[in-house]
Every structure is written in structure tokens, then in C-alpha cells.
Structure 1
Amino acid sequence: MNCKELVKEVTRLLDEFQEDKQCIDEFTQEAVKDLKNLSSADQDFIIDTLYGCITHKRFLEVVVNIFYIHYGDILLRVDRNLFIVVCYLAIFCLDDLGMEHFSRIIKSLDASKMHKFLSFFFSANNLTTHIQEEWSHIYDAAIVKSNWITPLIRWCSEIDLLLDQLAKKMGKGSLPKKSSRKSTEPREFDLTKPKVRPLPAPEVIPKQDKPKPVPASTHRSPKEPEILDEIKQSNQKKALEVLNEANSQQFKCANPQKSKKTQNVISQILQSRDGELKFDKLYASGSPATQKTNSLPVRLNTTAILREGALYNRQLEEELKRLEHLSQGASEPSAYLQWQKEMREKDLQEELAELERRRLEGRISHEEAVLARERVLERNHHKAQQTKEETAELMHRYAEKRLQEEKEMRDLVQQVADGHKNSKAAKAKLQQIKQRIVKEVSEQNRELLSQALEDAQAELRRKMELICQIRAFESMPMVRQKLVDDTEPAGHDLLCEMSLAELRERLTLLRESEMCKLEERRQRILEEKQVKEQLLLEQLDNIALRRSLAEQATARSQEEKRLRSELRQAVNKDERVLALQKTLQQKQQEKHKRKTEKNSMKRNELVRPLTVKNSIQKKQQVFEEHHWQELERTLEQQVHGVFHQSSKTK
């Protein structure tokens, strides 16, 4: 075989291999059987390459995965195992094959694919960065560099010649060689000993400002006692004046007239009552239009009044337009409307008769469908009865078969009981195994407990150190002096910063402006309410007029309904409708008759399964009694055998 066929054979076998289901050795042995027609050298090459690709699959997939990530979706996933084979030959077999034989294998394959893969793989930039980093996760970094990276870099110059030949084969000409860059070798850090930190300089103690003098208002006596003294003096003066007035007018109590105080109280009560009765004065504008009352029998809300008023206005406009057309010479369509009404009544009568006929025909077809369904159910019931009889026969045969199997099982149980007489040695051996397992588990628990104790002690030490640090922070002194001045800002350096006094002044101005706006809004709402009330009263008059007209229209509509009921009575007297009603009654009688026959058949069928069921239950009871007697007999035989053996040993 030539080189191309050998590589294809290896790729095919690698595609067939399933790592989670097959073993490498068994798979290679089966592959050797399929390769009997080839020479021994070809067989050795295929088997060695296949075995190497499977064992180093994880190592080789690193290169292929990076290669597919670099080129994206340009390459097909079918050629994945082909690139794995070529990668294995380049890494592990290049020294043994030689450059001549390796180039012959590469040239026999697809030139464009091999050119892409080899130019990517033997690039010094890719080898020393991505690929070396991923290989270092699998093996030690020193081993990766000495065993694979360094030999592959040595072959780069010869691989470049092979790439030029592949490029000529593709028709692109010789590609410019890439200058091989030297890989950077890491150097150790030259760490010097850190310098000893100098002692921190002591902080300068800030000088405190001179305290402000105490204001005069602090030691001033309060004003409340002075105010109380003034109130007390004024009350004494009033009491003296009242006493003098009472002494001077001591006979005025006999006067029947009411005092001024009583008259003032009575006038206040009367004014409050008048104010309660005149609660609508606030919203009245004084015009006679707004002093109208609601003459409707039902109270309506605002939305209903406006909606009904708009409807009546629209109807009024339509009536005015009709009268205008009549005044301009248009004819009154009363004769045409009368003829149209008569024709509509005639069409309605015919349509009602047709609808009644269709309804009766639908009922008749429904009854026929019910009868047909009952016939189908009777046939199915007959078939089901036959299948039930067959299943009863099969169950009888199955019960007999189960009796035979139970007898065979009893014989097997007897044989097994005879073979388990000498089981004491096995129990002792099992006990020893359990004791050994318990001992091993206790040792493992002891080790785990010691490890947990060490972890707890380390955690406790860490917490103690943290507590010491927190206490050291808490022991530091803190300056808690705080002086507040309402006229000075807080000093946060904000654009909108202001003092407390300025803030209070701004809030008062804002509150006054809001009160002004609220008062304006209240006045505007009051005016709107007055306009709205006037509009509603006008609409109520219009609604009362229109409702009287609507009552007349309802009277006319009731007359039309009476005429329609007379039309329906005429439809029910139609001969075709009567004939269809008669056929419907016949179908319903036939359905009722079949239903009674079906119920009688069901009662007869319920009697038969009860007899079959009773016979099966009797057979099962006989079988169970026989089974328990056999078990008791075998237990007695075993007890007698054990008793005889114990007597012999004694």
C-alpha cells in the first residue's frame, strides 16, 4: 500500500474506536485480523500509529483544538482524526521516519490542509506560547520543553522547505519564510532584602481655636413667670369690675327680659342653622338659569346626564335636518316604508318557517344517529362477552399451571433446606470479617478527629489575633468636640451648599408660594363647578322632554312585538312543520324502546359472570389449603430431623 492509503486506514480505525465501550488491546487484535492481506511492515506501521494515537490522544487533542480555534469553521470536523495522525507522526515518529519518508507521507495527502496544519504547528510563536502552556498542564514544564518543544524547533528549518514544496504544488509559489524568533527564557528575580522601616515622625498637635463667649441669653431669666403675673393682674381687674356692676345693679335679676349674653348665643344658633340650610348658595351664580330644580324621577350622576343630553341633541339635529329637506321639496317616504314593512313581515314569516323545519330535521338526524350508535354498541358488547369467556378459560388454565409450579418450588425449597444445615462455620467467618471492618473504620475516625482538632486550634488562634487588633484600634483616642453655627455652611464644598438659617428662610418662602398657588387653584375649581352645574341643569330639562317621547316609542314597539307573536303562531300551524314534528316523536319512541331492551339484556348478563367467579374462588381456596398443609408437613420433618441429630451427638 502507498502512504496515502496507510494514513487513511489509520484514520478509519481511529474513527471506529469508542473509548468508553472498547479496550485498546482487543480493538488492535481485531484490527490485525482485518489487515491479514497486507504486508508485515504495513501492518506494524498501522498498528503502532493507531496505538500511539489512542494512548496519547489527550496530548494530541491539545494541538488540534487550538488549530480549530485558530481557523474557526473553515475546516471540517471530519478531518479531525487525520490531523491527530499527522500530529502524532510529527511529534513521536519524525526522528525514526526521517524527513524524506515524512515528506513523502505529507505530499500524498491533501496539500492545502497539510500546509495549513504544518505552518500552524511548526510556527515557533505557537509552539512556545499556547501549545507549550497547555502541555505543561498535562506534564511537567521541564519535561515538555526538553522532550518535545526543543526537538520540534530544530526541525523547523526543514519543515519550511517542505511547506515551500506544498505551496508550489498548490500553485501559490514559494511563500516568504517567517523569521524564527528566539523564545524568551525566564530569569529569576533579583530580590534584595527590604530596608528597615524608619520610625514615623510624631504628628503635630493642632492648636485649638479660642472658645466663643457665652451669649447673654444663656443667663437671662425666662419670660413665662412675667406673662403669668400679667394675666393674673388682668383677671383680678375683671373680677373687681364684675363685682362692682353686680352691686350697682343688684335688682336687675327680676327683669323678665333676656340678657345680652343670652341674646347673642341665640342669634349665633339661628345664624348657624340658616347657614346649614343655605349650603347651595356657595355654588350658585345668582342667575335664574342656575336656580332650576331637578324634575326627573330618577337621580342621575354627572356622566349619565351629559351622555344622555348629547344623545338627545344629536337626535334633535337629525330631526331638524329631515324637516329642512321636507321644506325644500323632498317627498315623505311613508307609503314606501309601509310597503317595506309588509314585505319584511312576509319574509320574516317565511324565514321562521324555514328555521323551524331545519331545527326539526336536525333533531330527526340526531335521533337516527343515536339509534345507529346503539346498534354498534350492541355488536361491540357481544364481541366483548366472547372475549370475556375466552379470558376466563385462559385464567383457569393459568391457575392449574401455577399449582404445578408451586409444587416444583416446594421441592426446590426442601432441597435447599437440606443443603444449609452446616452454616455455623460460614456465620463465624462472616463475624470475623465484620470485626476487622469495624476496627479499620475506628482507626480512620480517630485520624479524622485529630485533624479536625488541629484545624479548630488554628482557627481559634486566628480569631484571638483578630480580637487583639480590634482592641488596639478601639484604644486609640477620638476627638468628639462638635460646634454648630446656624449661619455657617457645613463645609462639604458642594455647589448647592447652604447654611441652616438660609435653608429655613427658603422653606418659608416656598411654603408661602405653595399656599398662593393652592388658593388660585381653589378659586378656579369653584368657577368651573358653577359653569358645570348650569350646564347640567339645562341638560336635565332636555332629558325630561326626550323621555316622554321615548315612552311613546316603547308603546309602538310593544305593538310590533304583538304582531310578531301572531306571525310565530301562524308558522307553527304550517303543514310541513307538523309532519316533521310527528316523525320526531316516532324516532324518540323507538329510542326509548331500544333503551328498555338494552337494560333487560344487561341484567341477564350480570348473572353469568357471578357463577364463573364463584367457581374460580373455590379452586383458589382448595389450592391454598393444600399449600399450607404441605408447608406444615415439611416443617415437622425438619424439626424431627434436628431432634434426632441432637440426641445422637449427646
Structure 2
Amino acid sequence: MFEKTSSTLANDDPMSEVLAPDKLLQRCQDMYTSFNSATTTPDAHADEKLLAWKILNADDCTFIRQVFYGLYRYKKLINVLITAFFHSKSGEVQRSDVNMYMVFTYISLLRLRELTFYPYRRLILCQEPQKMVVFLSFVFNEENLNNLCKDEWLKLYDVEFVEQIVADVLVWLPDIDELISHLEEKVYLNKKKEEEEANAWAAGGKGRATVARPFNITAPKPRVVPPEEPPQPPIRAKAPPPRKTGPTTEEQNIQQVKEQNREKMSAFYSDPKKQPFKLASDQRPTNIEKVREEVEAERAAELQFEGIAPRPAPAPTNAQVKLNSAAILREDALYKKKQEQEAKILQQYEQELRDASEFKEWQSTMLAMDEKERLEEVERRRIEMAASQQAAIDAKLKQVEDNKELVAAMRVEAAEAEEQLAAERAAQEDANRQKREKIVDDRQGIKVAQEKVTLERKVRADALIAEKAELARRMAEERALEHQRKQDLIRQLRAMENVPMAPTKEFDPTSTMEIGLLEEMSLAELKERMAVVKRKQKEEEEEKRNEIVDRKQQRENMLMEKAANISRIRDLGNTQAQMRRLKKEQVKEEVVAQQKVKREQGMLDLHERLQNKQEARKAEQARLAAEEKAIKFEQLRQAASASAVEETKFKELRKGQDRDLKVRQDRTQVLAAQYEKTKYKQETIRTTNIRNESKAKRDFIKDYDERIKQLTIAKEVAKKEELDYKTSLVEEEHTRVETMHTKGLHMSQRAVI
């Protein structure tokens, strides 16, 4: 992967068919920007593009593929940093370079350890130094990563993954600082060199100096001030039509016609001759329904048949899942932790003779009791909620009645307000009439006012033109003075150029400075020693590579041993689990058998109790029948009238109705009290929740504002430091120019002398 690519980037052989770093990065950007997930897959897109570009080097293909896959996979992570980067450095970067920054973000955050620093440095140096200075100073900054990116990354990935990314980036800070210093030197020295070349060309160049000429621009014609339009008359809305209540005239007419038609039809069908014809056979008793039920029962019996029994489902396979290194280490650590816990329990039992099984049994019993109490509490609350619901319905009905009364009162108030509004409208009409008369009088003086305003505007325009002419004259004088000052400066610089320079001495790479230092050496000796140090460094890298290979082999052997141990422990655990399952099934069967015996005994007891109750009910019915027979006989004997019997029955029914009404009234009062109590609890809970949510929201807003304030202060401090730095650079440049100017004057004076 990236290890091969790093070797490719480090290869300086001109005959190797590899892409240059800048072309390699451009291919990565083109690969990512041309991908459309709705039409193709990443693999197919990569194969198609590499074939179209005719890239034959395997390392280049691997590098482009890995960068493209990484950009597609970690798109959200990269977008977080890119968004923060463009927000913080909006005045120093261009939006068109977003794809280049995305590629460098992926390599810097996730692949820099594999790529190593030297190939990464080559990729950086092939780009524009100004862009890379801004990017590297932002990405390799611990404060930016923690404050601007880490919070958003934690919403997408695990804490360990995010912390690992930040730690990997901060490892390269010393090397990156040197690279940033090198790039800054390039940026600022290039600007300085360009300024020096421009000054030298202006001082001793062969071309003629450009003479500034004013633009031949036609003077604009004075614009005609448009006349002001007269004010529009006020728009008066029509009064709304009077409000009518009740049905409309059309609805009343329709209802009247319906009543007339209904009376006509009633009068028409009141005549016995107009009654509809009915067959006497339809009124006779028939058994067609019974016959239909018998036929349907026969058809249903024909449909009852024994179906084909389905095949049993196949048994699941016992194939084991292949474990990777992380799963092996995790499961091995879990088994070790369990073994340590078991050893600790045995050690405590040996030393302190303490067994926690009784406590755990008591704990499980108490938990079961708590669960039972919880279920009872839930049932009680359910009953209370039902009662509260009924009370809420009653309260709603009461509220509806109150609303009706309130609506009636509001209608009365609306009628009074309408009368008052009519009076105000009449007063407003009188005031409008007076205003209209006043406006008609004022319109007669509009023309005079317009002429006066036009004259004033013309005077102001003439004054403005004169002021602009004076300002242009002053600017021309200032430009002439500035041009004269520049010509003087150019003459001085040319005088400095004409001063003869001192002769230079050729440099000998085999000679030394001969100033008496202990480590004094020539440039040739220094290069030789550097070659020796590089060979030694290469040997150390080879030794370190061998050590890494040995450690990998040892790790693989260790993982193999742990995987075998895990397999053995799993087999043992499966055997024990099967034994526990069998034991649990036996216990379950015993419990089911005991419950069956208890259920049968309960059924017998219930049947016996029901039988006794049935016999007692029959005896009571026989006694009541005898008493009723005796009462009837007594009533007949006493020749009680039918009216007296009916009156007695009505009284009994009246008493029963009164008792039922009293019971329902008591039940309603109890339910209403329960509803009020439950409603009060619900309102208290709702108020508490709203208060807690409001407090949490205020705390969140306060923290967010504080954080934004801190970020704003930090940004202002950074901008101030950058402004101070640029100001110091400008001051140094001015000082240098003044120094050179002073030296040039001195040298010109000496030359004149």
C-alpha cells in the first residue's frame, strides 16, 4: 500500500515509469471529483479511470486507489476539518483548491505514519508554498484540532479513534515546523527578490519608463431631475356588509318547500287505497333459514380434512466464526478477567471463609418482591389514570358550558363595541371630509413649491461640481509631487548602481576557514562525512526493519496460541452449557408437573364449591317459589286488586332506582377525587420536567455562548499577532530601504568629492 508508494516517491531514477508528485496528486483529485456513486461503484470507477489514463506503474495505481477509497470512506471526517479550515482561513485560501486540501487532509490525518515524512515532504514541496504554509500551520496545531474539529469528530467516531488521530498528527510537529519554516522562507524571500528585480530594472533597464497619461473620458451630461409626482389620494375601503345570523333566505325557502312536499306525501299515503301491495305468503312462517344453516354446516364438514404435515426445519450449523487479532485479544482478556475473578473468590473463601451465594439468593428474592410490588403499583396507577380520565371528561363538559356562557357575554360586548365603532366611524368620516377640503386648497400651491425645489437642487448641483473640480486639482498636484519624488529616488538608485563594486574571491571547496576551531573542516570533508552518516543511518533502518519483522512473527505465534486456548475454552463452555440446559429442562418439567397437580386440585376444589353454590341456589329458588306461591295465594284470598299490586311493584322499582342512583353518585365522587389527585400529580411532574428542560437549555446556551466568546477572542488575538508580524515586516522593509537610500546618498557624495 502506502509503504510501496513512499518508496516510489523516493525513487529518483529518471528511467522509472512513475508519475511526478504533482501529477500523482492531480490524478487523485480527478479520480475523486469524477466519481458518481449513483451510477457506478468505487472499484469499477477506479479501474475505468486508471485504464483510461494508461497508468502502468503498480505503486502509482495503488497510491491513487488508496487515496480515492480513503476520501470516499472518511468523507465526513475530512469535511469537518475542511469546513473549519475554510472558516478560519477564509481570507488566505481559495475555494477552488478544496479538492487538493481534501487529499492532503486524508494523507496528513490517516496515512502519514505509513507514508513517512520524506515522501510527504516531496508532495508538499511540489505545490505552491503559500497554500501549503496556510494548510500545514492549521492542521498541525493541537489547539485547532481539539477546539475546532474534535467535538464534531466525536459525534461520528469513537473516542479512542479520534484521540489516536490527534496523537498521530502531533507526533510529526518537529519535522513539520522545519518544513513550515522552509516554506515561509521561500514565500517571503521570493517576494523580496521580485521587489529587488523590479527596482533594479527600474534603475538600469533599457526600456523607457512608462509615462502616465490621463484617460480620455467623455464628460457625463448633467442628469435631469425628474419632477416629483403628486401624492396619491388616500385609499378608502368599503364598509363591511352587516352581519346576519341564522339561515339564509335560500335555506329558508328550501326548508319551506321540503315541509310542503312532506305534507303532500303524508296526505297522499294516508288513504288506504294508496298503500303498497303486500303478499300474504310473505307473512307466513317459514323454515328457510334453518335449511340454509344445515346446508352450510354440511359444506363446512366436507372441507374439514387432514392436511400434509410440514417438514421440520433443518438444524443450524455449528460453524465457528473466524476471529481476527482484535477479537482474539479481546476474548483472551475477557477469559483472563473471569479467571482472576474466580481466583479472587476462591482466595477470599480460603482466607475469610466467606461465601456470597446466600446473599445473592436473598438478593434475587428481594428483586422478585420488588418486581411484584412494581407491577401492583402499575395496576394501581392504571386504575387511578382511568378515574382521572373520567374526571377529565366531566371537567371538559363543565368547561364547554362555561365557554358557552362566555360566548354569550362576548356577543353582548361585541354588539356594544359595534355600536361604539359606528359612532367612531361617523366621527372619522367628518374628519376625513375636513382633510379632503384642506388637501384641495393645498394642491393649488404645489407648482410654486416644485419650482422652488428645482432651483435649490440646481444651486446644490453647481456647488457639488465646483467642489469635485477643486478635489481633482488637488489630487493632480499630489500625483505630480509623488511622481517627482519617485524620479529622485530612481536617480539615487542609479547612482548607487554606478558605484564600482569590490572584487570577489573564488571559493575552494577543499580549503578551511583556518580560524582555530576544533571541528574545522572543508566542504569536501563535510560531504564525505555526511555520506558516512547516511550509510550508517541506512544500516540502522535495516536493523530496525528486521526487529519489526521478528516482533510481528512473535505476535502471530502468540495469537495462534491464544486462538487455540479460546477454542478449547469454548468447547468446554458449550459442554457445561448443554449440561446446565438439560438440568434446567428437568427442573422446568418438575415445576410444570407440580403446577399441573396443583391446577387439577384447584379445579376439583372449584368444581366442588360451584356444586355447593348451585345446590344452595336451587334450594333458595325453591324456597322463593314457595313463598311467591303463598303470597299469590294470599293475594287472591284477600282479593287484592290489580291496581294495588301495580302500585307496590312501582314502589319497589322506585326504591331500587334510588339505591342505584346513590351508588353511582358515590362512585362518581370517588372517581372525580381520584382524577383531581392524578391530575395534580401529572401537572406537578410536567412542571418539573419543563423547568428541568428550561434549565438544561439555558445551561447549554450559556456554555455555547462562552465557548463562542473564547473562540472569538482567540481568533482576534491570532489576527492581531499576524497583523503585528506583518507590520514588523513592513517596518523592517522601510528601514532597509531608508538605510540603502542613506548609503546611496553617502556614496554619491563621496563620488562627487
What is the TM-score when the length of structure 1 is the normalising length? 0.33
Max Rg structure? 1
